């Protein structure tokens, strides 16, 4: 057992921190939060330095690093700014299903463009009638000659209106439930494939979400990812990485909020002394630091498992369950340290407070994580 | 164009809580984050930019313990081709003169056209290593350099003077320049750079490898001895500017100008 990061991992962490501190500024975060727009320029800058998709193989435009290295980067990004960090992290969402189950042609076509920042990815699983329950899909795909014909709709899709392609979980075998689903790649611009933006999200507003509609969308048979009718199982394995990433995102955000609160507590004077002199503040910060450290170890451990090629859904569900609940609570406590100022955008902590909330909801709600953990415990 | 860049691994003190250690000769270093000295960061970038324009190699060199390898790794990741670390227990407490002697003993045997240093170091800020090193090597030097133009065997550089003035001087090569911040925009460390740097070796040399003896370095080889480091007592110096808004604004601009800030 070795808890020490390697020299290279430390350098990567430091490089990501430097970039994040200078580029993922609170001012930029506030601007994009307000505009509800994706920070394209920042995304391209990060990609040029190899920070996007660094865990893709070098032959597919990545840096040949592991999930852990990718996590170290996204932790730093989310720490520096919860809004911008999330936008950058989510820019690759969906591409890991290609990494895991795609064929060489699919990897060649999509991954280098995602890693270079030229393309933005998306993954379309959720439907209006199927949120946490994805055991059957209303979006269907029927084989017609050498093409699949897709019909249906998806909602709450990250990057919907800015993505260049999507992986879409479709029902390919009607009435077969989870045993009849397939993952298909659909490029933006394909006839019958439309996107609508969802406005008014509580947080992560620089990462636009939207709806997809598919009306007789024809995609080549070659766009099938993995095995036909195994899409549900492919998606579950893909979500294993996604859940672990959300745990890491939550740790990054909690650390960012903690850093803001600690700095403020030392500066803010009340009753003639800094509020960090009061035990009520000290205990909040001590608990926060402890909880963040525990969740960080959890997230790193899941990354380590994934890098070993071990799919450990129980671990990733536990990590997400713990880290996201922890972060919601810790950021709430950090905001409390700011008093009334914490409620004002200029102090940034309110954005962390809004942005963190989604981690408790997406990639499976906390309740779903708990259902799964219990199932694994009693298996 | 072979360029040598002298860099220093220093604690970041701008936003840290600084405490004086019990012997009052240094600050407490535990808990501080170390990184490349800010001025050296610009010097390294300038060296890499010159290499990209004129060809050749960049060698980063530092005097420091194993911790300072991260600063050399950063140089390698950002485009330095080679790195040398000079380390020895006996180098500790060397002043600028002794550090310049250590650097000189190695650099004099290396091929070079140009040596770049930062103007000064973030920590002790003597701004002497560069000029002394140039003196020991017997080459011309210019300090506070804001711009470099190279031609065959010669250089033209802009120096920053007080009061917002700049001076343009010509020097023969090889020469040493101490680089001022703002001369360029240092690039970020990329993941590709880190991966490449991991393949490069850092050469480590100690006193026994150099043509120096123990009396040339450390306290014995130094001319300056630190007597005391302390936090000066706070003094209240408040100047009230009175008059109409226009008069006050004019006065403020004069003050800012006189400090060389605009």
Query: Residues A211, A245: one domain?
Result: no
Mutation target vs A (from B16, B74, B194, B200; most A CBs, 10 A cutoff): B194
For B165, the domain range is 2-234
Q: Which residues of A touch B16 (CB under 8 A)?
A: none
**Mean pLDDT in residue range A5-12:** 95
Q: What's the confidence (pLDDT) of residue B3? A: 98
Is A51's Cβ below 8 Å from some Cβ in B?
Answer: yes
Q: Is the peptide bond before B166 cis (omega within 30 degrees of 0)?
A: no
Q: Are the Cβ atoms of A12 and B77 closer than 8 angstroms?
A: no
Q: What's the confidence (pLDDT) of residue B257? A: 87
Q: What is the pLDDT of residues A72-118, one digit of tens each?
A: 999 999 999 999 999 999 999 999 999 999 999 999 999 999 999 99
For residues B222 and B92, the answer to whether their CB atoms sit within 8 Å is no
Is B73's Cβ below 8 Å from some Cβ in A?
Answer: yes
Of A7, A10, A54, Cβ closest to residue B191: A54
Cβ-in-10-Å burial (0-12, 13-18, 19+) of B59 comes to buried
Q: Is residue A1 part of a domain?
A: no
Q: What is the CATH number of the domain that holds A23?
A: 1.10.540.10
Q: Are the Cβ atoms of B189 and A48 closer than 8 angstroms?
A: no
Q: Is residue B250 part of a domain?
A: no
Cβ-in-10-Å burial (0-12, 13-18, 19+) of A95 comes to buried
Query: Residues A60, A195: one domain?
Result: no
Is B74's Cβ below 8 Å from some Cβ in A?
Answer: yes
For residues B157 and B176, the answer to whether their CB atoms sit within 8 Å is no
Q: Which residues of A touch B193 (CB under 8 A)?
A: 15
| ipTM of the modeled complex | 0.91
Q: Is residue B261 part of a domain?
A: no
Q: Which residue(s) pair with B35 in the sheet?
A: B10
Question: Among the three residues A115, A144, A174, which one is the final residue of a domain in this structure?
Answer: A115
Q: Is residue A328 part of a domain?
A: yes
Of A7, A10, A49, Cβ closest to residue B191: A49
Count how many domains chain A has: 3
Encoded tokens for A22? 């200078």
Q: Is residue B239 part of a domain?
A: no
Q: Which residues of B touch A64 (CB under 8 A)?
A: 195
Q: Where are the alpha helices (DSSP H) in B113-244?
A: 129-137, 191-199
Work out whether strand A193-198 and strand A209-220 pair parallel, antiparallel, or are unpaired. antiparallel
**Mean pLDDT in residue range A347-363:** 96
Q: Is residue A2 part of a domain?
A: no
CA nearest to B202, candidates B35, B71, B56: B71
Query: Residues A237, A371: one domain?
Result: yes
Backbone dihedral angles phi then psi of residue A348, each to the nearest 5 degrees: 65, -25
For A248, the domain range is 232-377
Q: Are the Cβ atoms of B191 and A50 closer than 8 angstroms?
A: yes
For residues A216 and A192, the answer to whether their CB atoms sit within 8 Å is yes
Q: What's the confidence (pLDDT) of residue B57? A: 97
* CA A341 – CA A351 distance, rounded (Å): 12
Q: Is residue B240 part of a domain?
A: no
Q: Which residues of B touch A8 (CB under 8 A)?
A: 194-195, 198
Query: Residues A85, A149: one domain?
Result: no
Give A39-47's long-range contacts (Cβ < 8 A, gap of 24+): A39/A84, A39/A87, A39/A88, A39/A206, A40/A162, A42/A84, A42/A87, A42/A88, A43/A87, A43/A88, A43/A91, A43/A117, A43/A120, A44/A117, A46/A19, A46/A77, A46/A88, A46/A117, A47/A115, A47/A116, A47/A117, A47/A118
Encoded tokens for A343? 């409620």
Query: Residues A96, A148: one domain?
Result: no
Q: Is residue B137 part of a domain?
A: yes
Q: Which residue has the higher pLDDT, B237 or A214?
A: A214
Q: Are the Cβ atoms of B191 and A65 closer than 8 angstroms?
A: yes
Query: Residues A141, A251: one domain?
Result: no
Greatest extent of chain B over all pairs of C-alpha atoms, in Å: 69
Q: Is residue B255 part of a domain?
A: no
Query: Residues A158, A61: one domain?
Result: no
- Active-site hit among A58, A75, A363, A367: A363
Q: What's the confidence (pLDDT) of residue B258? A: 85
Mean pLDDT of chain A: 96
Q: What's the confidence (pLDDT) of residue B234? A: 83
Which residue on chain B is closest to A19 by alpha carbon? B188
Q: What's the confidence (pLDDT) of residue A103? A: 97
Question: Among the three residues A83, A98, A115, which one is the final residue of a domain in this structure?
Answer: A115
Residue A40 has pLDDT above 80, yes or no: yes
Give B67-72's long-range contacts (Cβ < 8 A, gap of 24+): B67/B9, B67/B34, B68/B8, B68/B9, B68/B34, B69/B202, B70/A10, B70/A11, B70/A14, B70/B9, B70/B34, B70/B35, B71/B7, B71/B8, B71/B9, B71/B34, B71/B35, B71/B36, B72/B7, B72/B202
Q: What is the CATH number of the domain that holds B207?
A: 3.40.50.620
Query: Residues A201, A284: one domain?
Result: no
Task: Name every residue whose Cβ is closer than 8 Å to that of residue A220 and which is 6 or more positions away in sequence.
Answer: A146, A147, A148
How far is CA A134 from each of CA A95, A96, A138, A193, rounded to the nearest angstrom?
Answer: 19, 19, 10, 21
Q: What is the pTM of this model?
A: 0.91
Residue A348 has pLDDT above 90, yes or no: yes
Going residue by residue through chain B, which has 262 residues, state the pLDDT in tens, using 9 for 90 and above. Answer: 999 999 999 998 887 888 898 888 888 888 899 999 999 999 999 999 999 999 999 999 999 999 999 999 999 999 999 999 999 999 999 999 999 999 999 999 999 999 999 999 988 899 999 999 999 999 999 999 999 999 988 999 999 998 889 999 999 999 999 999 999 999 999 999 999 999 999 999 999 999 999 999 999 999 999 899 998 888 877 888 999 999 999 999 998 888 877 7
Count how many domains chain B has: 1
* CA A269 – CA A266 distance, rounded (Å): 8
Q: What is the CATH number of the domain that holds A150?
A: 2.40.110.10
Question: Among the three residues A90, A115, A140, which one is the final residue of a domain in this structure?
Answer: A115
DSSP-derived letter for residue A358 is: G
Q: Are the Cβ atoms of A12 and B191 closer than 8 angstroms?
A: yes
**Mean pLDDT in residue range A228-252:** 96
Query: Residues A196, A102: one domain?
Result: no
Cβ-in-10-Å burial (0-12, 13-18, 19+) of A147 comes to middle
For residues A152 and A214, the answer to whether their CB atoms sit within 8 Å is yes
A363 a catalytic residue = yes
- pLDDT confidence tier of residue A224, bands split at 50, 70 and 90: very high
């Amino acid at each position: 057992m070795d808890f020490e990061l390697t020299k290279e991992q430390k350098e990567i962490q430091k490089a990501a921190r430097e970039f994040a501190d200078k580029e993922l500024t609170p001012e930029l975060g506030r601007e994009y939060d307000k505009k509800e727009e994706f920070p394209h320029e920042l995304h391209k800058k990060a990609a040029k330095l190899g920070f996007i998709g660094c865990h893709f193989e070098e032959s597919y435009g990545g840096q040949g690093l592991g999930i852990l290295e990718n996590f170290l980067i996204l932790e730093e990004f989310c720490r520096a700014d919860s809004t911008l960090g999330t936008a950058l992290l989510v820019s690759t969402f969906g591409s890991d299903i290609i990494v895991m189950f795609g064929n060489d042609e699919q990897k060649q076509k999509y991954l280098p463009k995602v890693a270079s920042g030229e393309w933005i990815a998306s993954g379309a699983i959720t439907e209006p009638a199927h949120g946490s329950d994805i055991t059957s899909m209303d979006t269907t795909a029927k084989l017609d000659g050498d093409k699949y014909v897709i019909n249906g709709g998806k909602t709450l899709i990250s990057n919907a209106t800015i993505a260049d392609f999507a992986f879409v979980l479709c029902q390919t075998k009607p009435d077969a439930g989870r045993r009849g689903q397939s993952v298909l790649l659909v490029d933006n611009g394909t006839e019958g494939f439309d996107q609508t933006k969802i406005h008014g999200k509580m947080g992560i507003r620089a990462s636009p979400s939207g709806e997809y509609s598919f009306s007789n969308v024809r995609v080549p048979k070659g766009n099938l990812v993995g095995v036909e009718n195994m899409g549900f199982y492919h998606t579950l394995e893909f979500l294993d990485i996604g859940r672990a990433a959300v745990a890491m995102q939550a740790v990054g955000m909690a650390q960012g909020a903690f850093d803001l609160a600690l700095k403020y507590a030392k500066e803010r004077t009340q009753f003639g002394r800094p509020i960090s002199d009061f035990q009520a503040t000290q205990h909040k910060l001590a608990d926060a630091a402890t909880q963040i450290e525990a969740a960080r170890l959890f997230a790193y451990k899941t990354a380590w498992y994934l890098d070993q090629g071990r799919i450990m859904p129980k671990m990733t569900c536990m990590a997400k369950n713990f880290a996201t609940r922890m972060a919601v609570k810790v950021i709430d406590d950090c905001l409390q340290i700011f008093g009334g100022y914490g409620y004002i955008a200029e102090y940034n902590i309110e954005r962390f407070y809004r942005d963190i909330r989604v981690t408790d909801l997406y990639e499976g709600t906390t309740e779903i994580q708990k259902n799964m953990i219990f199932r694994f415990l009693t298996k | 164009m072979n360029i040598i860049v002298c860099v220093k691994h220093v604690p970041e003190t701008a936003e840290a809580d600084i405490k004086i250690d019990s012997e009052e000769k240094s600050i407490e270093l535990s808990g501080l984050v170390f990184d490349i000295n800010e001025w050296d960061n610009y010097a390294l970038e300038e060296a890499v930019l010159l290499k990209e324009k004129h060809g050749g190699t960049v060698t980063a060199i530092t005097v420091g313990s194993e911790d300072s390898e991260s600063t050399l790794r950063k140089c390698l990741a950002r485009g330095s081709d080679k790195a040398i670390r000079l380390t020895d227990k006996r180098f500790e407490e060397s002043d600028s003169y002794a550090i310049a002697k250590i650097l000189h003993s190695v650099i004099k045997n290396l091929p070079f056209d140009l040596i770049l240093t930062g103007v000064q170091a973030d920590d002790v800020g003597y701004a002497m290593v560069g000029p002394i090193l140039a003196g020991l090597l017997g080459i011309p030097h210019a300090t506070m350099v804001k711009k470099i133009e190279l031609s065959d065997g010669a250089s033209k550089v802009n120096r920053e003077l007080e009061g917002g003035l700049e001076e343009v001087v010509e020097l023969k090569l090889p020469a040493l320049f101490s680089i001022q911040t703002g001369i360029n925009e240092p690039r970020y460390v990329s993941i590709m750079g880190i991966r490449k740097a991991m393949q490069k070796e850092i050469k480590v040399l100690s006193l026994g490898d150099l043509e120096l003896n123990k009396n040339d370095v450390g306290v014995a080889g130094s001319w300056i001895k630190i007597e005391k480091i302390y936090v000066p007592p706070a003094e209240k110096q408040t100047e009230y500017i009175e008059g109409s808004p226009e008069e006050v604004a004019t006065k403020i601009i004069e003050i800012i100008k006189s400090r060389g800030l605009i």
